Amino acid sequence: MRHYVGGEFDASGVPFPLVDPADGTVDGEAPSAPRELVDRAVGAARDALRGPWASWTPADRSRLLHRVADGIEGRFEEFVSAECADTGKPRALASTVDIPRAIANFRSYADLLAGRSERSWNTTTPDGHGALNYTVHKPLGVVAVISPWNLPLLLLTWKVAPALAAGNTVVAKPSELTPGTACLLAEVMAAVDVPAGVFNLVHGGGADAAGQWLTEHPGVDAIAFTGESRTGSTIMRAAAARLAPVSFELGGKNAGIVFADADLEQAVAGTLRSSFTHSGQVCLCTERVYVERPVFDAFAEALAAGARSLSGYGPMVSAAHRDKVLGYLDKAAADGDVLAGGGIPRFSDERDGGFWVEPTVLAGLPDDHPAVREEIFGPVVHLAPFDTEEEALARANAGPYGLAATVWTGDVSRAHRVAPALDVGIAWVNTWNLRDLRTPFGGVKASGIGREGGDHSLDFFSEPMNVCVKL
């Protein structure tokens, strides 16, 4: 595990341990970047903006992104192994979602960039000769990319790819819990001849460490962050001091609505997936489901049975996060009903040293209960009945978050009526996490600022300039 600064690998800094969440063993270490190295990384990124990178055309950058994608694909199994070691997630998930999506992130922005064009306008002038107005998109400059531990490579590349496509230089800091795939990405960047300083990587924590020093750095021109809403507020205060633009994808307490006319089997299967993928450690996961009263008992029974029969799920990322999730479950058990799970599974093997929590289905809690209102980010979902469409919408829209939601119904008119009325950035109807990388992605309220995906990301990572030529 090394930093990557100015085209050179660097292992300086006090090492910190890396723990395998599956069994709790220490399986490596990574260096925590000293402040001087963070300064050097920002300086290298600044120098690269003035170097040969500045003359690269969009077509040049598009070809580079394709080479990066090819480099990840060429080391596919290494990336899968690193992702599993860092997060504890099942190999089947890392090999079908995380690593393929990282490859797709680079390829999709490479293709989008190759087909992007500037706009122009013919302008009438009083003298009759006219003028030509056109736009030029210029990079923001040095971009800090701070990525989380739940989808380490996917969410890192989701920001790095469009930032580089737009001509910026990047200083990336992955979560200190999951640095492995970021290190491999730096090796790929070096192997495909990304110019020195264009991509830089530093490791370390957040407060009083690399994360804070990077987001407060006067040489950083923009910040792209995915993580907790409270951390986002802290970063926003740092960025506000120098009016640096920010792109935030933050927390969520995502709702699902199941109407009585839905295909119940499909709704149960979809909710099992949306609640327990990666053991609930995905910002898009469903944590509260409102079920129309005539089918509530049948849905609850089927979902609880499905949760009890789940296998192949992964652990929480750390002991601290496991304890946080269990704290919510203790409160819920005291105040409501535990229909499935609620504790720590026992395996009678090395996994008993890991950070596991059973897939858990809760019911009977009021809407203002912490387990219903606050983001748990674990394998936990709460069920509640409703009687009217208006009630379901009001309860789904309540609370500080607004990232995503699911609607399960057999009525196409209701689908088109309810989905747009949800206060979220993305609503799925009769599915979950079906993504088109060109569409806007992000949240409202405490779930984020701005949108990522397709042209939305390229627009954030570039500054449009107007050129007016009098004819």
- 169-173 and 142-146 beta bridge pairing: parallel
Q: Which two tokens stand for residue 298?
A: 């049948």
Spatial separation of the C-alpha atoms in residues 204 and 31, rounded to whole Å: 7
Where helices occur in 144-290 by DSSP H, the ranges are: 152-165, 180-191, 210-215, 229-240, 264-276
183 as an active site residue: the answer is no
Spatial separation of the C-alpha atoms in residues 42 and 216, rounded to whole Å: 11
Q: Choosing from 84, 183, 216, 283, which is the catalytic residue?
A: 283
CA angle at residue 102 from 100 to 103, to 5 degrees?
65
| Residue that is written with structure tokens 């789940």 in the block | 310
Q: Which two tokens stand for residue 9?
A: 């690998």
Q: Determine contact, residues 233/206, Cβ cutoff 8 Å.
A: no
Using CA atoms in the order 404, 407, 412, 416, what is the torsion angle rounded to 10 degrees?
A: -30
Q: Determine contact, residues 105/203, Cβ cutoff 8 Å.
A: no
Spatial separation of the C-alpha atoms in residues 67 and 375, rounded to whole Å: 38
Spatial separation of the C-alpha atoms in residues 138 and 460, rounded to whole Å: 11
Find the largest Cα–Cα distance for the chain: 87
Burial of 261 from C-beta contacts in 10 A (0-12 / 13-18 / 19+): middle
Of 156, 144, 172, nearest to 461 by C-alpha is 144
- 199-201 and 222-226 beta bridge pairing: unpaired
73 as an active site residue: the answer is no
Q: Determine contact, residues 316/357, Cβ cutoff 8 Å.
A: yes
Spatial separation of the C-alpha atoms in residues 91 and 98, rounded to whole Å: 10
Beta strands in 243-397 (DSSP E): 246-249, 254-258, 286-292, 337-340, 360-363, 380-386
- 254-258 and 286-292 beta bridge pairing: parallel
Q: Choosing from 249, 287, 358, 452, which is the catalytic residue?
A: 249
Question: Catalytic residue numbers?
Answer: 249, 283
